[in-house]
Amino acid sequence: MNSRRNFIKKSSLITIGTLNYNFSSLIKDINGVDISVITYSFNPGSEDMNVIIQNCIDSKSDNIELMGNHIERSLGMPRSNRMSANWRANASMKLFKDAKKVFKDNGINIFAFKANCIDKNNTDEEIEYAMKATKSLGADFLTNELMDNDSVDRVNFYAEKNNVNVAYHTHSNNFGSNVKATDTAWDYALNSSKKNYINLDIGHYINVGGLNTKDSLLDFIKRNHKRISSLHLKDRQAGKSANLTASDNQQWGNGDTPIIEVLQLMRDNSYKFTATIELEYRIPEDSNRVKEVIKCFDYCKQALIS
C-alpha cells in the first residue's frame, strides 16, 4: 500500500475545481507507521467530493478511507433509496476511475472505500457495485460493519468473484446489524474467506469493557496483525455507554484507550497496516474538524517519535 503513495509527488490540480494544495507539506509515515484518516472525520454529512478533498488538503491527509456518501452524490447518485439502488446497479465504473484520478492528482491515496451498501437489506447488484467501485478507486479494501454469518457468506461470494478484500468493523454495542467488538467477533468472517480482514476500532474495543482491556487489545493486535487491514483511532472510556448529550468520546489522551501503546506496538513490530484517525469527540468552540484532525496527527507523531 505504501508504495502506491509515491504518486503524491505530483503538481497537478483538481479537475473539478481549483483547490489550494501544497505538495511540500504532506503527512508522511512516522517511524514506519502509516497514519491515515477516514473522511467521516471531516464532514460526516457532506455530499460534496470537493469539500472532502479540500479537507484532506487542509489537514495534509494523503491516505484515506473514503466514505460512500462523500463521493456518490457528486458522481450523480439520486437521493431516494430506491433510485440510489438503481443508480448503483447501473453506475459506470469510469465515474470512479475518474474520481480516483482527481484524488490522486491532489496527492490523496484511497486505501479503503466504505460504500455503506452491503447490508442484508441491500440488493445483490449493490453489493457487486461496492466491489467494483472499490477496485475502480484503486482501494486495497472495502470496509463495512460486521454482519451476521449468512450476510457474510453472501458478501464472500461477491468478494471472491471480484477479488476484493473486505475489512469488517465492529462497535461497542449490538445495534441494528452491527456486532459487538470482542476477541472472537471476527472468527467466522476470517475463517469463511481469505478475502476477509479486520477493521479494528480500538476505541470501540475498549468501550466494551469487561474482558476487553488494554492488555487484551494489545494481545489481540499481536495475534491478528496479519489479518488487520487498518485500525480506527479514537479515545473512548471503558464500559461507559455513549449518548447524544454526553458522549464518552474524549479528546485524545483523556480517555481509556491506549492509543500511544498501540501506535508504538505498530512501530516496534513494523506492522504494515495503517492507523486511521476517526474524529468523533466534541469539537471545541474555538476549533473545527480540520484543526482537530491535525491535532490527532500531532498526537500520533509525538507517540511515535518518543
Residue 237: the pLDDT is 94
Between residues 146 and 28, which one has the greater pLDDT? Answer: 146
Residue whose entry in the numeric block shows the C-alpha cell 456486532: 179
The cell for 202 is 480500538
pLDDT at 176 over 70: no
Residue 259: the pLDDT is 98
- Alpha-carbon span 199 to 187, nearest angstrom: 13
- Alpha-carbon span 42 to 59, nearest angstrom: 10
pLDDT at 17 over 50: no
The cell for 197 is 480482514
- Read off the DSSP letter of residue 259: H
> How do the domains of the chain map onto residue ranges?
2-305
Mean pLDDT is lowest, of 41-55, 57-71, 214-228, 244-258, for 244-258
Residue 246: the pLDDT is 57
In this prediction, residues 244-250 reach a mean pLDDT of: 72
Which fold is adopted by the domain 2-305? TIM Barrel (3.20.20)
107: CB partners within 8 A, 6+ apart:
7, 8, 10, 21, 23, 26, 57, 62
- Alpha-carbon span 133 to 113, nearest angstrom: 8
